[in-house]
Amino acid sequence: MKTYRLLSFVYLSLIAFCCFSFTLEAKQANNISQFLLKKGDNDLWKSTSFDDSNWDNIYQGLPKEAGIYWSRLHVHVSKQSSMEQQTLFTSILGSYDIYWDGYWLSSNGIVGDSMTSEVPGNIDKITTIPNYLWTEGDHVISIRISNFHSPDKLRTRTFMARFDSGPISNSLLPFMVLGGFIILSLYFFQLYIIFSPQNIYLIFSLLCLSVSGLLIAETWRNLIGYSYDWHQFRLISVGILTFVVATLLPLYFLFQFSIKHKFRWMVCLIASLGFIGVFFPTFDIKNLYMLLTAFVFSLIITIIAIRSKQQGSRVACVAISTITITLLVMSFSFLEEYFFPMFAIFICIELTYLTKIMTSTEHDKNLALLNSAQLEISLLRKNIQPHFILNTLTSIEEWIEESPKTAILFIDALADEFRVLNNMSDKKLIPLAQEIDLCNSHLEIMSYRKDQKYVLNIKDIDLSQKIPPAILHTLIENSLTHNRYTSDTTIFNLQQINNLEDNTIELQLSTPISQNGHNKIVGTGTGLKYIRSRLTESFQDRWHFEEQALGDFWISKVRIPKSN
């Protein structure tokens, strides 16, 4: 509960910080939202005295047609602002020359009258306005532009100019967390490969890697830059990576909280993301709605997990809710400024959960190793108990005097059983053929000792099926212990029944119940504890064991997953 309150406070503080930052940005931004535009090329259009009253107004992008254009803006510099150094940030899908009151300031690429003659300029450019030009009074900014390398679908959407140093500072914070995302991705991938092949580790690794790729694609423009003809490729890469992140985030929660019907969830999610990718108009809108869809799916999953009282669901719900609210409130600058810092905090929260999983897994692994060692010792002790050794040595002593050949055969049978037992003692699963060999060896030994014949008949048995060692051997041993067979031949029957619906098999061992023996086997004995422990070790909760009397037979049923 304390952790929940602390994380809630952190996220509410983060929302307040984002809102405050957004308000400051809105007050300080000095975007130039309207330019005058005319198609054609005339050197007189850069003059301050030129009459541009009949030019068209543009608010964002250039016209759809490629060509050469001139754009003009009338600027008034106050006395106060004239005392400060100014820079002009421009982002135009084209090559251009910038003039201030007719004087050349800078060039971006080479303006041309065709795709061949034009050399694409950078997508963004910062131009310093000299102090001797930045003076109090009215001024004219003139820009000569050619855009033959710009894609048709983007040409009308990118045209920006403002008096500041550009958006580089806004991308420094998310870029700082890039190394952390990459390290986490590599760490959890190695964890998945080497330590424990759990799907949640692999998905978390891929999620961190895809967020790293998205961060690089987003900050590439501001920190490195590129020529404007690459702008569409960058937008496509951002879209693809956003789709991947939007797919992996709900998938991570599906595995974290063990939600049922994962395939149906993913079909609905991918169908929704595909619809957004095909039918929504611009790249930015596609990306925002894909992320929003992923957050909504994740939020629903965490709410379901809360209702089923799963660990970590409340904190995850607070985290996803906060990110979703931030996206809705600050959608314009969410992906560029707020997504990565908030996602970094979310990753830190999930690291706490995954650390608990790793600690629990390591504890369970050590406990399983201890139990496995105890079971191995139990298996070896089964046939070296003092009364068994004493009775065996006594029988050998009598046969040596009366029938040396029988003594030799008995010793060979005893050696076979110990050899098979030794070969399987350190294994969790063995082929059914090896288990049957152990049972036959034991029945042969008991045949000599009781001077009766014991036979194991098998039916429809898949000898390659894997089972824990000495399971059937223990059942047969229990039957011989709890019954006093008097007939010359006693037959034990083993058959296999396949269940195709749940891909399991059922082994049924049928043992006769003697008139002078017990009518049931005690279900809390050491032998049955060994069986249940072995089944749990190998199959966790995916097994079923039951016994019942049916007429003159005692039926033992063991249902386990079918081997691949």
What average pLDDT does the segment 209-231 reach?
A: 88
The confidence score (pLDDT) of residue 358 equals 67
Look at residue 112 and give its three-state secondary structure: coil
The yes-or-no verdict on residue 470 having pLDDT over 70 is yes
The yes-or-no verdict on residue 160 having pLDDT over 90 is no
Confidence band of 172 (pLDDT split at 50, 70, 90) = low
pLDDT in tens, 487-543: 888 899 999 998 877 788 999 999 888 766 544 444 445 567 778 877 887 887 788
Confidence band of 387 (pLDDT split at 50, 70, 90) = low
The yes-or-no verdict on residue 472 having pLDDT over 80 is yes
Q: Is 308 exposed, middle or buried (0-12, 13-18, 19+ CB in 10 A)?
A: exposed
The confidence score (pLDDT) of residue 1 equals 44
pLDDT in tens, 181-208: 888 888 888 888 877 778 888 999 999 9
Sheet containing 553-561: order of strands: 453-459, 489-499, 504-512, 553-561, 544-550
pLDDT in tens, 22-36: 444 434 444 454 689
What average pLDDT does the segment 246-270 reach?
A: 92
The yes-or-no verdict on residue 391 having pLDDT over 90 is no
What average pLDDT does the segment 224-228 reach?
A: 88
Single-letter amino acid code for the residue at 27: K
Which of 70-74, 101-105, 163-167 is predicted least confidently? 163-167
- Rounded CA separation 318/544 (Å): 40
Which of 161-165, 450-454, 527-531 is predicted least confidently? 161-165
The yes-or-no verdict on residue 15 having pLDDT over 90 is no
- Rounded CA separation 295/325 (Å): 10
What average pLDDT does the segment 319-327 reach?
A: 87
Token pair for 563? 């081997």
For 528, phi and psi rounded to 5 degrees? -70, -30
Confidence band of 417 (pLDDT split at 50, 70, 90) = confident
Beta bridge partners of residue 126, listed in sequence order: 89
The confidence score (pLDDT) of residue 3 equals 47
Confidence band of 11 (pLDDT split at 50, 70, 90) = very low
pLDDT in tens, 74-106: 888 887 776 676 888 888 889 999 999 999 999
The confidence score (pLDDT) of residue 522 equals 43
What average pLDDT does the segment 147-151 reach?
A: 87
What average pLDDT does the segment 347-353 reach?
A: 78
The confidence score (pLDDT) of residue 392 equals 65
What average pLDDT does the segment 204-224 reach?
A: 88
Confidence band of 110 (pLDDT split at 50, 70, 90) = very high
Between residues 473 and 118, which one has the greater pLDDT? 118
Q: Which residues neighbour 118 within 8 Å (Cβ) at sequence distance 6 or greater?
A: 95, 109, 110, 111, 112, 146, 148, 149
The yes-or-no verdict on residue 225 having pLDDT over 80 is yes
What average pLDDT does the segment 310-323 reach?
A: 86
What average pLDDT does the segment 131-153 reach?
A: 88
pLDDT in tens, 286-303: 999 999 999 999 999 999
The yes-or-no verdict on residue 245 having pLDDT over 90 is yes
- Rounded CA separation 58/73 (Å): 11
The confidence score (pLDDT) of residue 7 equals 47
Nearest Cα residue to 184 out of 163, 165, 209, 159:
209
pTM for the whole thing?
0.63
Token pair for 276? 């957004």
- Rounded CA separation 252/6 (Å): 23
- Rounded CA separation 100/74 (Å): 10
pLDDT-above-90 percentage for the chain: 28
Residue 472 CA, distance from chain mean position:
41
Compute the C-alpha angle 60/66/67, nearest 5°: 105
CA-CA distances (angstroms) from residue 124 to 155, 271, 521?
A: 15, 36, 84
- Rounded CA separation 23/427 (Å): 66
The confidence score (pLDDT) of residue 30 equals 43
Mean pLDDT (the chain, rounded): 80
Neighbour-count burial for 84-104, b at 16+ CB within 10 Å, e otherwise: eebebbbbbbbbbbbbbbeee
Compute the C-alpha angle 404/407/413, nearest 5°: 150
Confidence band of 425 (pLDDT split at 50, 70, 90) = low
Between residues 397 and 450, which one has the greater pLDDT? 450
What average pLDDT does the segment 477-488 reach?
A: 82
